[in-house]
């Protein structure tokens, strides 16, 4: 009997010494610790809100676990993986490419995005035709990045290669230095380049370097893989159910629609045409609870802010209202700037109210914009086709794939409102999203300049 009691005590002591799985401890503590970086592709602040593809993915994963997130942002990129290996964070969500060298230090989840490394130079300068052409200028890359790793590999074939590995900077900063002409070249991932080119059309892609690479979350090598397995299942599930594709569309589905000339023209019109219209866009936005920058983006897409604009179909004015819409909105003169902007704002709000309440932002706005262009009935037809195909009729990423089908008899004869040039509203929404981003970026830049000017005029404090 005494032996049995002793055995039970030993078993209890052993069971007490076995720690709970990591994922259970995280749930008890109530938070995940995730290392990331400040970048347009990962984690950034916009309108007092945190956004970014990595941020949204992490927040979704944390919500499924029922915990909150503490974000760790190292001073330099090359500290991200060491932060993981030292056990200072549970995993890294920082747009990390999967490389053989990194796989020695960490283990990666399944990929959530594919990117390619691109050699970037400034328009107007000689385009490098091969990587060794960069020895004629300054090439800078992020220290500890996959791009530095790639250059190290290429140096074995081309010993003359040279570059500077920069710490305490981000890829977006290096791209800006190329734009400013302060350095000649950098290497960046294609997703980062696509976002930067919206604001800096001077940036040009000279070469694609190497094969496409996967982006994934990085975890430490450890015996306890409970959290890793949960993350792996999460990534696989959102890939399969389409929610990952919808999120990628939100951040990247429209960013390459505008060309160099479009960006240049827009930049010129920002200075020449927009300023006197801003008070009218702001007033219409306030009255209709709409972002005035969104209204301005619509106005630019419709007319390039030209009040005398007339389309071949007879729509006219800043907001390009049809006769029927103008009459419905009480607009007597479509070429009157104030009436046109006010009427367009009221019309957009009227359409938006028709969108089913269950559809959330930003999908709600994108669908309202598509309706502004093609009509609410045709949007509903596209949503019907979307649902028939098994996709989600409440997600713009899915609906935009089905709108072009309205131009095909096989499909439009099966829906209520019939034929429509469905590609047009897709391009329309993509362009407005691009113009809106450019407007927000421009206005932030102008606000910063004004603040700096005020500070510079203030007397020095002795």
Distance CA 227, CA 447 (A): 43
User: So what CATH class is 113-213?
Assistant: alpha beta
Q: 260-438 — its CATH code?
A: 1.10.530.10
pLDDT digits (tens, 9 = 90+) for 24-65: 999 999 999 999 999 888 998 876 788 899 999 999 999 999
Distance CA 403, CA 422 (A): 5
**Cβ 216 vs Cβ 115: under 8 Å:** no
Q: Active-site residues: which are they?
A: 302
Residues of the chain with CATH 1.10.530.10: 260-438
Q: Is the pLDDT of residue 6 over 70?
A: no
Q: Is the pLDDT of residue 339 over 80?
A: yes
Q: CA torsion angle for 201, 264, 256, 314 (degrees, to 10)?
A: 180
**Cβ 325 vs Cβ 347: under 8 Å:** yes
To the nearest 10 degrees (0 to 180), the angle between helices 190-199 and 423-457 is 70
Scanning the structure block, which residue is given the tokens 């010129």? 268
The model's confidence at residue 180, banded by pLDDT at 50, 70 and 90, is confident
Regarding pTM above 0.85, the answer is no
Q: How many CB atoms lie within 10 A of CB 137?
A: 13
pLDDT at 313: 65
3-class DSSP assignment, residue 44 = strand
Quick one: which of 239, 186, 197 has its CA closest to 215?
Answer: 239
pLDDT at 461: 47
Q: Is the dihedral of CA 142, 146, 151, 156 positive or negative?
A: positive
Return the ∠ at Cα 298 (arms to 194 and 441), rounded to 5°.
45
User: What rounded mean pLDDT belongs to the chain?
Assistant: 89
pLDDT digits (tens, 9 = 90+) for 227-281: 999 999 999 999 998 899 888 888 887 776 666 667 778 888 888 999 999 999 9
Distance CA 438, CA 341 (A): 20
Distance CA 456, CA 187 (A): 36
Residues of the chain with CATH 3.40.190.10: 113-213
Q: Which two tokens stand for residue 79?
A: 């500290």
pLDDT digits (tens, 9 = 90+) for 408-455: 999 999 999 999 989 989 999 999 998 999 899 888 887 777 666 666
């Amino acid at each position: 009997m005494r032996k049995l009691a002793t055995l039970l005590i030993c078993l209890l002591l052993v069971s007490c010494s076995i720690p709970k799985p990591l994922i259970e401890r995280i749930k008890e503590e109530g938070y995940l610790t995730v290392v990331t970086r400040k970048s347009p592709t990962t984690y950034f602040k916009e309108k007092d809100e945190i956004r970014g593809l990595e941020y949204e993915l992490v927040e979704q994963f944390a919500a499924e676990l029922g915990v909150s997130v503490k974000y760790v942002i190292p001073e330099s990129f090359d500290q991200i993986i060491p932060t993981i290996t030292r056990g200072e964070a549970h995993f890294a969500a920082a747009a990390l490419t999967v490389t053989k060298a990194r796989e020695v230090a960490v283990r990666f989840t399944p990929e959530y995005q594919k990117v390619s490394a691109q050699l970037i130079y400034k328009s107007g300068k000689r385009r490098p035709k091969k990587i060794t052409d960069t020895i004629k200028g300054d090439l800078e890359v992020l220290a500890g990045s996959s791009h530095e790793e790639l250059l190290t590999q290429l140096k074995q074939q081309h010993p003359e290669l040279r570059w500077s590995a920069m710490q305490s900077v981000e890829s977006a900063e290096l791209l800006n230095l190329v734009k400013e002409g302060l350095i000649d070249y950098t290497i960046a991932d294609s997703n980062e380049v696509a976002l930067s080119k919206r604001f800096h059309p001077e940036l040009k892609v000279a070469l694609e370097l190497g094969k496409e690479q996967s982006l994934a979350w990085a975890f430490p090598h450890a015996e306890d893989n409970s959290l890793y397995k949960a993350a792996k299942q999460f990534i696989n599930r959102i890939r399969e159910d389409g929610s990952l594709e919808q999120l990628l569309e939100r951040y990247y589905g429209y960013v390459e629609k505008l060309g160099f000339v479009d960006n240049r023209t827009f930049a010129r019109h920002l200075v020449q045409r927009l300023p006197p219209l801003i008070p009218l866009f702001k007033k219409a936005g306030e009255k209709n609870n709409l972002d005035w920058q969104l209204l301005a983006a619509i106005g630019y897409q419709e007319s390039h802010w030209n009040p005398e604009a007339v389309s071949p179909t007879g729509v006219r004015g800043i907001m390009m209202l049809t006769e029927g819409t103008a009459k419905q909105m009480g607009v007597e003169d479509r070429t009157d700037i104030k009436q046109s902007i006010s009427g367009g704002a009221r019309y957009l709000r009227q359409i938006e109210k028709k969108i089913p309440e269950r559809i959330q932002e930003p999908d709600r706005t994108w669908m309202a914009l598509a309706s502004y262009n093609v009509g609410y009935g045709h949007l509903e037809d596209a949503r019907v086709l979307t649902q028939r195909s098994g996709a989600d009729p409440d997600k713009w990423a899915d609906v935009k794939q089905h709108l072009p089908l309205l131009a095909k008899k096989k499909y439009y004869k099966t829906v209520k409102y019939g034929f429509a040039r469905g590609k047009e509203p897709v391009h329309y929404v993509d362009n407005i999203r691009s113009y809106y981003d450019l407007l927000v970026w421009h206005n932030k830049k102008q606000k910063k300049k004004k603040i700096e000017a005020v500070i510079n005029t203030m007397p020095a404090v002795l």
